[in-house]
Structure 1
Amino acid sequence: MIKKLSFKTILIASLFVWAFVACNSEKEDGDVTDVVIYGGTSAAVTAAVQAKKMGKSVIVISPDTHLGGLTAGGLGWSDTGKKEVIGGLSREFYQRVYDKYQEDSAWNWEDKSEFGNKGQGTPALDGEFKTMWIFEPHVAEEVYDEWIAELGIEVLRDEWLDRDNGVSVEDGKITSIRTLSGKEFKGRMFIDATYEGDLMATAGVSYHVGREANSVYGEEWNGIQTGVYHHRHHFKALDQPIDPYWTPGDPSSGLLPRISGEHPGIKGEGDDKVQAYCFRMCMSNHPDNRIAFPRPANYDSTQYELLVRIFDAGWDEWFGKFDMIPNRKTDTNNHGPFSSDNIGMNYDYPDASYERRKEIIQEHRDYQSGLLYFVQNDPRVPEETQKEFQEWGLAKDEFTDNGNWPHQIYVREARRMIGKYVMTENELLQKKPTPESVGMGSYTIDSHNIQRYVDENGHVQNEGDIGVPLPGPYEIAYGSLVPKKEEITNLVVPVAVSSSHIAFGSIRMEPVFMILGQSATTAAILALDEGIAVQDVAYEKLKARLLEDGQVLTMADQIVSK
């Protein structure tokens, strides 16, 4: 027998069902995060902080275990350029670093007074607070981690984007991303804060790898640069040419390791090569805080035969880029014709699979760790250089979960978006005005070497190292942070920005990435609040908010002494 239900019972049941559906719909909506950030770089941190400060839900999906990218990965001697144009959260980071070094506990291996004017206590240019631009890797990471914790920002680490089909796009919008672990993250706005531009590439956004020909954007310093010698990272810096063959003068004996037998190309034309990578080494000369450079398992001294010839030619600048940071440590960078830059061994990195990238990174580590061991131990190294270098080792209290080796390789350049606006050397050199500034850069237009080859005279030579001074700080266009509107309308890209190779050579500095992380997020949230594409954000509104938050957009806004 079927019992007939009363109207009241039916009504109550209906209301219950409606409430259940509404509750679950609300829960489902709640699973959609306002701002989803992919990446663990310095820009990812400032992007997340800005989103939280603007009252939005945010999550950081980081393929890295450690936050901060290069800033926390060994680049402690900041490439600041003109500090007057570093504002907003980027400047706040350096203020927080300064605060760390006011604590006596921060000085374990050196007296604070001994560090003196090498960075400690640099007065901020507005006279109200202080900043510190030179720091140890672990201190930078502590600052980032504490900043994230203060604001309660959720960070998932060691989560890698599924680059095959892990980005869902509907009607020109990214709706969700999925990682290799199977986790899915729905969002309203997305930020690609990786050095490699993995999210934007997987989403189908246009990008470029390598050098454009000078003719593409009407530039002078892009493209192949044979015959250009701007720094001392080339063989013209030596008093005599270097023969590239195992048996000098005999091409049939074969080339020495790490010299290409290919023609370098025609000056001014483009190629698909990227500037060399390396690790920024944190070394120590304190007897109680150094570890001797270990002999790599696959050590091969013949890989450094070219360096022997360079030493024999009188090269005595091995210590030329041992930039000192607190506690008797260094941020050691490439210097000279044969150094930590692993020239020509990274061309396929930008588009490579994760597995191939790991191989490239390991090859770079093997090369660089072998180089350090070689100089410290091989009898062919000049005695004076070797003896002095034996006073150095890896800093025992840095990168303690990675064999005291930096956890971040210096990806100086990978993919670069081709977005709404492309920054070129013409904007940086102020030959053209920059529309809709969202921040400023000021570092020299800079590229490291890209090729090592045999020149027309039969000698070894490097190519690609460029250093072009600027007339002054330059503005960075908002359009360089967003894709073309017909591609994706809810993505901003503050690291793999839309720029030519040579313009990126200046933009790619860590303080600038933090600036752009903040500005990109601000624009994304304004677009979110108005329900419009990121390409349609009203610049005057964006400008007003950026200035309110301390960003420096023009020279008129620069932070000046009082």
Structure 2
Amino acid sequence: MLVKFVGVIVGIFLCSCSLAQKDEVTDIIIYGGTSGAVTAAVQAKKMGKTVIMISPDIHLGGLSSGGLGWTDTGKKEVIGGLAREFYQRVYDKYQNPGAWKWERKADFGNQGQGTPAIDGELRTMWIFEPHIAEEVFDEWVEEMGIKLYRDEWLDRKTGVTVEDGKITSIRTLSGKEFEGKMFIDATYEGDLMAAAGVSYHVGREANSVYNEEWNGIQTGVYHHGHHFQALERPIAPYLIAGDPSSGLIAKISAENPGKKGEGDHKIQAYCFRTCMSNHPDNMVPFPRPDNYDSTQYELLVRIFDAGWKELFNKFDMIPNRKTDTNNHGPFSSDNIGMNYDYPEASYERRQEIIKEHEDYQKGLLYFLANDARVPRELQEEFQRWGLANDEFTDNANWPHQIYVREARRMIGEFVMTENELLRKKPTPNSVGMGSYTIDSHNVQRYVDESGHVQNEGDIGVHLPGPYKIAYGSIIPKMEEINNLIVPVAVSASHTAFGSIRMEPVFMILGQSGATVAALSLEKGLDVQDLPYEALKAQLLEDGQVLTMDNRILSD
């Protein structure tokens, strides 16, 4: 009887605790662990709101702490608010002499992407090591007292409750349930958005959809050097040159690429931004994957044989003799054509895709360092490099975040297109600015009409200058969900997203999205009904750059 009594009391206690927790409704719930998720959480807390950050990731910062330390800044004068504060905090980290363990600060140089790496005048640093970025994000969240749940995955099937056009609660796979008044989906994939029933698109729209030029299939377009047109001679795709019956070598699709300008459901290639070191005391030799298969890299051998020697062109230097190494050339770290189902895939299937990309890229590094078919002078230089031993130390020095360049994109109140970026059409109600080139990596590799290998999908379209990003591009349609903001999987065409998708912009939009949520709560309004003038005033007060008139200039 005593045992039964104790059991009843415990049951009542647990029930009451559960009810108490359920009755405690958080002002703003942020789902995601990206850089945009962090700035959204910080801004919400700064505006006096209760905040819970639910991250499917263990490590905060997404690509900003996942290897992309060679920041795609575009025009730095339009990066304001908390995004700029992040780069100022990075600058402060490197003022400590102890941060320069593997090289002297004076030996680093000051080269960045379109901007000096270190801007001493405005105390910002745009180029950094992964662990430094992660330290900044972690310290920021702790400093602000943000309640954070790591490694919590949204139940995408039944874990989102919607009542009368509003999300009321979300549940994770572990069974935790969170009630909130406002929600922010700050994932690369747009998982919360999709589970809530918001409209979205995956793949490239046809040019006719938004009257664009650079959307859709781009056969015959060669903007960068990431194609076979730049080689001294064409490359045969078949196991036996000239014999289609012998079959295709690895990493070439047998599918027809489609007609130029038409849409498809394919997405630009993913890769890992590997952090390498050439310091002998801080490098780990490239490991041989368990399922290593050298035939996967036969195409690269043929490219080398055709005279290609640009192997080291994207070994972009970050502090302490390390790199942010990105894709470069017709065959590189981009695993073309192997990610098409990722945006909509189950968590289990996504892990399979990520593992396949990891095996491919690790195998590529091992191949370059060890296979006798690699030109000797390139291989000898490559063997001076290895994975940085002091980065990603809980993941065998491999990045914890795959580069999800594009997944789902919301179809919201306003869709950003190349026409707004190229200033062919005006952009209403700015919540931030972007400035990077319209950029897409390759989408498919196929056999062209001449019987040779070709890549398709890589574009780089220069802009007339920085552009505004519309308020309507971060909120769903009025008839769908009224208390959700989406600052990462934003409402944009494939071409527009190719510029918007940069980490500084995600941080800018994360801050602006949280401002929308906080002000909408204060005024008792749906996010679609918030007066823009009130939003604009708050954003300007908090240092956001909304137009070129309030861009940040040197003193």
Cα deviation, 1:306-328, whole Å, max 9, x if unaligned, reads: 00000000000000100000000
**1:184 is matched with which residue: 177, 185, 188?**
177
Structure 1, unmatched stretches of 5+, are 1-22
Separation (CA, whole Å) in 1 of partners of 2:177 and 2:489: 23
Distance 2:229 2:22 in 1: 63
Match of 2:356 among 345, 354, 363: 363
Which segments of structure 1 move beyond 4 Å, counting only runs of 4 or more? Answer: 23-30
2-side partners of 1:439 and 1:108: how far apart? Answer: 37
Residue 73 of structure 1, aligned match among 55, 63, 66: 66
Q: Find out whether 1:123 has 2:119 as its counterpart.
A: yes
SS at match of 2:431: strand
Equivalent residue of 1:254, what SS? strand
SS at 2:387's partner residue?
Answer: strand
Give the alignment partner of residue 451 of structure 2, picking from 458, 464, 469.
458
Does structure 1 conserve the Cα–Cα contact (< 8 Å) formed by 2:36 and 2:506? Answer: yes
Q: How does 1:55-454 map to 2 (within 5 A)?
A: 55-118=48-111, 122-123=118-119, 127=121, 129-454=122-447
TM-score normalised by L of structure 1 = 0.94
Determine the structure 2 residue equivalent to 1:524.
Answer: 517
Whether 1:45 aligns to 2:59 is no
In the TM superposition, residue 116 of structure 1 has moved relative to its aligned partner by 2.8
Contact 1:98 1:121 survives alignment (8 Å): no
How far residue 27 of structure 1 moved from its aligned partner, in angstroms, is 4.8
1:26 positional shift:
11
Change (3 A) 1:469 1:31: same
* C-alpha separation in 1, matches of 2:189 and 2:32: 10
Distance in 2 (CA, whole Å) between partners of 1:34 and 1:110 is 46
Q: 1:24 to 1:112 in 2, by over 3 A?
A: closer
Residue identity over aligned pairs, in percent, reads 78
What's the offset of the Cα at 1:31?
1.6
> Aligned partners of 2:321 and 2:132: how far apart in 1?
14
Distance in 2 separating the partners of 1:28 and 1:46: 26
Q: Deviations over 1:158-188 (max 9, x none)?
A: 0000000000000000000000000000000
Q: Distance in 2 between matches of 1:356 and 1:103?
A: 43
| Cα distance in 2 for residues equivalent to 1:494 and 1:118 | 30
Structure 2 match to 1:11: none
Q: Distance in 1 between matches of 2:17 and 2:228?
A: 68
1:26 and 1:262 map into 2 onto residues whose CA distance is: 56
For residue 166 of structure 2, what is the amino acid of its counterpart? Answer: K
State the AA in 1 paired with 2:226.
H
Corresponding residue SS for 2:124: coil
**Residues paired across the two proteins, number:** 537
Counterpart CA distance in 2 for 1:43 and 1:30 is 28
Look up the equivalent residue of 2:360 and give its one-letter code: Y
Q: Which amino acid aligns with 1:316?
A: K
Letter in 1 for 2:405: R
Determine the C-alpha separation between the residues in 2 that align with 1:475 and 1:47: 19
Residue 112 of structure 1 deviates from its aligned partner by 0.9
Cα deviation, residue 123, structure 1: 2.5
Structure 1 letter corresponding to 2:209 = V
Instruction: Assess if the C-alpha contact under 8 Å between 2:292 and 2:363 holds in 1.
Output: yes
RMSD (Å) for aligned C-alpha atoms: 1.3
User: Whole-Å Cα distance in 1 between the matches of residues 277 and 489 of structure 2?
Assistant: 33
Cα separation, partners in 2 of 1:32 and 1:259, compared to 1, 3 Å: same
Q: Normalising by structure 2, what TM-score?
A: 0.95
